[in-house]
Amino acid sequence: MTEIDPSSSAQSAGLSQRYGIGTDRHRLEPGEGLILAGVQIPCELRAVAHSDGDAVLHAVADAILGAAGGTDIGDLFADDDPQWKDLDSSIIVERACQWSAAQGWKPVQVDVVIHLERPKLAEHRDAMKAALARQLSIPVDCVGLKAKTGEGLGPVGEGLAIDTMAVVQLQRAGEK
Ligand code: MG
């Protein structure tokens, strides 16, 4: 991914916060569980994916890259590259954080929405929030996470897909 010249970036325009949005979708098929926000979710489904299929971390990584003025995780991890087969998606977020740090930004807040018909995620919500907080090195009360169903409608409602959305706030690295 192309490095940004700080002299032409928002830093020189005096911005101290940046916001990014990321979304993701994976098809679901019968399997031995989902991984969401780095947390194992026991169920009889799996996400169809080249990586571990963690739709939460993929949306978060894209939001981080977007806020820092980058593009998307496909730039860092091509989905047809054999070396990224079954990749642990925490590495994707780590790389996104490293890239944003190189531009002078660090995450300070994240808010995530998961659209999934089943399984219900309420019992895993605290674990997912804690995992996101650890991954981004932010307090857990700076992590939002909501799980919603598709009300029986569309690919999510029919149990064929998981959709996710994340919004991330970045702050200039070094600022409190
Ligand atoms: Mg994905």
Query: pLDDT tens for residues 28-61?
Result: 999 999 999 999 999 999 999 988 999 999 999 9
139 CA from centroid of ligand 1 (Å): 25
121 CA from centroid of ligand 1 (Å): 19
Q: Is residue 75 over pLDDT 90?
A: no
58 CA from centroid of ligand 1 (Å): 5
Nearest alpha carbon to residue 112 among 45, 157, 36, 166? 166
Q: Where are the alpha helices (DSSP H) in 68-105?
A: 73-76, 89-102
In a 13 Å sphere around the CA of 153, the CA atoms on its Cβ side amount to 2
8 CA from centroid of ligand 1 (Å): 31
Q: Is residue 144 over pLDDT 80?
A: yes
90 CA from centroid of ligand 1 (Å): 12
Q: Is residue 12 over pLDDT 60?
A: no
